[in-house]
Chains A and B, each alone.
Chain A
C-alpha cells in the first residue's frame, strides 16, 4: 500500500477583517471550550469553570 501524499497547497487567505471576525468567541466556541476543559483538566477541577458567583461573605 502506497501512502498518498497530500499536496501542501495554499494557505487560507485571511484579511485583517477576516481575523477580526474569526477571533470573536461564539456560543459554539464556548461549548467546545467547555468540552476541552472538562475532558482535559485534572478530575478535581473538571467542574471549576461551572462556578457561579456566590455571597461575598464566604471566607476560608
Chain B
C-alpha cells in the first residue's frame, strides 16, 4: 500500500496488528525514535511549567493562576503522550481516552497536594518548588509506557513483560525490577512508581508464546 505523499513533512500510518508506526515507505518506525520525539514535546511542556513556577516564585502570578496553568500543561502533555503511544489521534478509542484521563487524574491529585503545601508554607517557594514542578514535566513518559503496556495486553495478547533500564542513572527499584527479568504482564512496577519517580527512563518489552511454543517478543526498538 502506498501512502499519500506530502510536499514538506513525511506521512505516517499505524499498523494495528504490529502495534507500530510505518513511514511513507512502509518501513516501521523505531519506538526509540517515537520516545525521542515525545521527549522534545515533554521538554517544551516542562519549560512552560518551569516558567509558571518561576513566575509564582517571583510573585508575578497568583497560586491559582499557577495551578490553572499547571493543570493545563499536565493534561496537554499526557494527552499527546497517550496518543503517541497508541498510534495517533485516530486510533484513540473512548476506553483509551478514559485510561489517559485516569493517568491525568493521578497527576492532578499530586498537583492539588503541591498547591496546598505551597499555600500552607510546607512547600518552600524557591528552587525546591522548581525541582518538584519539573517532575510533572517528566510524568507523561509514564503515560506513554502505560498506554503501550495497555495496548500490548489488550490488543496484542502479550503475556509477559520485562523492564529494560534506560539511559540514565538507575535507582534501586529500577535495578530490582530489571533484575526480575520476564514476569506476567502487569505485575512489574509501572514507570514512575519507583524511587526515581517520573525521572525514570526505563521501558517495557513484551512477549507471548507463539503457535509453535516459541516466544514472540514485541518489536519495540
Interface residues of A (CB under 8 A from B): 5-12, 14, 19-20, 22-25, 29-30, 32-34, 36-37, 39-60
Contact bitstring B16-46, A, C-beta under 8 A = 1, else 0: 1110011000111100011011101101110
Inter-chain contact A53/B40, CB cutoff 8 Å? no
Is B112 interfacial (CB 8 A cutoff)?
Answer: yes
* Chain B CB within 10 A, most for which of A11, A14, A44, A46: A11
Inter-chain contact A9/B64, CB cutoff 8 Å? yes
Is B202 interfacial (CB 8 A cutoff)?
Answer: no
How far does the alpha carbon of A50 sit from the alpha carbon of B9 in the complex, in Å?
12
Contacts of B41 in A (CB 8 A): 36-37, 40-41
Is B109 interfacial (CB 8 A cutoff)?
Answer: yes
Sample of 12 more A-B contacts, CB < 8 Å, known A22-B71, A50-B88 = A7-B62, A8-B59, A11-B112, A23-B102, A23-B108, A47-B11, A49-B80, A49-B84, A52-B13, A52-B88, A53-B14, A58-B15
What are 20 sample pairs from A and B whose C-beta atoms fall under 8 A apart? A8-B62, A8-B118, A8-B119, A8-B125, A11-B119, A29-B79, A34-B80, A37-B80, A39-B44, A47-B9, A48-B29, A48-B88, A49-B80, A49-B84, A49-B88, A50-B90, A51-B87, A52-B13, A52-B88, A60-B28
Inter-chain contact A14/B9, CB cutoff 8 Å? no
Inter-chain contact B62/A33, CB cutoff 8 Å? no
Interface residues of B (CB under 8 A from A): 1, 3, 6, 9-18, 21-22, 26-29, 33-34, 36-38, 40-41, 43-45, 56, 59-65, 67-68, 71-72, 75-77, 79-80, 83-84, 87-91, 97, 100-102, 104-105, 108-109, 112, 115-116, 118-119, 125
Contacts of A6 in B (CB 8 A): 59-62, 65
Inter-chain contact B9/A19, CB cutoff 8 Å? no
Inter-chain contact A56/B18, CB cutoff 8 Å? yes
Inter-chain contact A10/B64, CB cutoff 8 Å? yes
Closest Cβ of chain A: how far from B134's Cβ, in Å?
17
Inter-chain contact B77/A36, CB cutoff 8 Å? yes
Contact of B68 among A10, A12, A59 (CB under 8 A): A12
Residue of B nearest to A34 (CB): B89
Inter-chain contact B105/A20, CB cutoff 8 Å? yes
Inter-chain contact B80/A36, CB cutoff 8 Å? yes
How far does the alpha carbon of A25 sit from the alpha carbon of B108 in the complex, in Å?
13
